[in-house]
Structure 1
Amino acid sequence: MTVETLAPGVHAIDAPFEDVPLQIYVIEGERLTVIDPGVPQTAEGPLAQGLAELGHRPADVDLVVNTHGHHDHRGGNGVVAAHNPGVVIAAHPADATWISSTEQYLAEEYLRFRPAWEPPTAALDRIRLLCGADLPVTLELSHGDELDLGDGHVLSVEHIPGHTDGSIALLHRAAKVLFTGDAVQARGTPLQCRADFFPHYRHVAEYRRSLDFFAGCGAEIVGTAHTGVCAAHRAAQLIAESRRFADEYTAVFTAAFAEAGSATLADLARATRDHYPRYDDGIPLFNTISGYLAELCAAGVARHDPPDRFVWLG
Structure 2
Amino acid sequence: MEIANGIHLLKCPLDSLWTGVFVLAREKLVVIDTAFDHSMTDVVLPYIKKLGRDPADIDLVVNTHIHGDHIGGNARLMRETKAKFAAHKLARERLANPYFHLNKIRSRFAPLVPFQEIKSGLNPQEIDIDLEHDQEIDLGDSKLRVLHTPGHAVEGICLHDSASGILFTGDALQGRGTMSTGVGLYFDLDAYLLAIASVEAALAQDNVSMIAASHPFDPISGLVPVAECADFLKLCRDTSDNYDKIIREYMAEHGDSPDLREAVRCMLAHAGITTTPGVPVLAYHTAAAHLAKIDPSRQWGEPL
The TM-score with structure 1 as length reference comes to 0.83
Corresponding residue for 2:200? Answer: 215
Q: Does 1:117 find its partner at 2:113?
A: yes
Moved more, 69-78 or 281-290: 281-290
Report the alpha carbon displacement of residue 168 of structure 1 after superposing the two structures with TM: 0.6
Specify the alignment match of 2:281 in structure 1: 283
Question: What's the CA shift string for 1:239-265, capped at 9, x where partnerless?
Answer: 222122111111111101211123143
Q: Is the 8 A contact 2:84 2:128 kept in 1?
A: yes
Counterpart of 2:18 in 1: which secondary structure?
coil
Contact 2:150 2:194 in 1 (8 A): no
Q: Deviations along 1:93-120, whole A, 9 cap, x unmatched? A: 323333332332234322223333342x
Whole-angstrom distance in 1 between the partners of 2:140 and 2:179: 36
The number of residues matched between the two structures is 289
Q: Given the superposition, is the C-alpha separation of residues 308 and 224 from structure 1 closer, same or farther in structure 2, using an over 3 Å criterion?
A: closer
1:268 is aligned, of 246, 263, 269, to 263
Mean alpha-carbon deviation: is it higher for 211-220 or for 251-260?
Answer: 211-220
Aligned equivalent of 2:101: 105
- Point out where structure 2 has 5 or more consecutive residues left out of the alignment: 217-221
Partner in structure 2 of residue 312 of structure 1: none
| Counterpart check, 1:150 vs 2:140 | yes
Which residue number corresponds to residue 78 of structure 1? Answer: 75
- Residue 209 of structure 2 aligns with an amino acid whose one-letter code is E
Which one of the candidate residues 29, 34, 37 is aligned to 2:34?
A: 37
With 73-82 and 281-290 compared, the bigger mean Cα shift is at 281-290
The SS at the match of 1:113 is coil
Residue 219 of structure 2 corresponds to none
Distance 1:48 1:138 in 2: 22
- Matched to 1:258, the amino acid is A
What SS does the aligned partner of 2:123 have? coil
Distance 1:26 1:307, change over 3 A: closer
Say yes or no: does 1:238 pair with 2:223: no
* Cα offsets for 1:57-111 (capped at 9, x unmatched): 3211121111000000000111212212x42121113233333323322343222
Moved more, 254-263 or 14-23: 14-23
Residue 307 (structure 1) shift = 7.6
Residue 146 of structure 1 aligns with an amino acid whose one-letter code is E
Per-residue Cα deviation, 1:13-48 (whole angstroms, up to 9, x for no partner): 222233222221112344311001111121211111
* Aligned partner letter, 2:230: A
- Which one of the candidate residues 288, 295, 304 is aligned to 2:293? 295
Contact 1:97–1:104 (CA under 8 A) maintained in structure 2 = no
Native 8 Å contact 1:199 1:284 kept in 2? no
- 2:77 & 2:300 partners in 1: Cα distance? 42
Answering whether residue 139 of structure 2 is matched by residue 139 of structure 1, we say no
Whole-angstrom CA distance in 2 between matches of 1:307 and 1:168: 26
- Answering whether residue 200 of structure 2 is matched by residue 204 of structure 1, we say no
Task: Please give the per-residue CA displacement for 1:163-198, whole angstroms capped at 9, x wherever unaligned.
Answer: 01110111113321100000111110146xxxx532
Segments of structure 1 that go 5 or more residues without pairing to the other structure are 310-314
Percent identity over paired residues: 28
For residues 139-173 of structure 1, the C-alpha deviation after alignment (integer angstroms, 9 at most, x for no partner) is 2111121111112x211111111101110111113
Q: Select 1:10's aligned residue among 1, 7, 10.
A: 7
Alignment of 1:240-259 (within 5 A): 240-259=234-253
Q: 1-side partners of 2:176 and 2:300: how far apart?
A: 30
Distance 2:232 2:99 in 1: 33
Closer, same or farther in 2 for the Cα pair 1:177/1:273, shift >3 Å?
closer
Matched, 1:21 2:18: yes
Give the direction of change, closer, same or farther, for the CA distance of 1:273–1:12 in structure 2 (3 Å limit).
Answer: closer
**Matched AA of 1:64:** V
Aligned to 1:95: 91
**1:128 alignment partner in structure 2:** 119
| Paired residue secondary structure (2:258) | strand
2:44 to 44, 47, 52: 47
> In structure 2, how many angstroms separate the alpha carbons of the residues matched to 1:176 and 1:83?
30
Matches of 2:157 and 2:112 in 1, distance apart?
29
**Alignment TM-score, normalising by the size of structure 2:** 0.86
The answer to whether the 8 Å contact 1:69/1:96 transfers is no
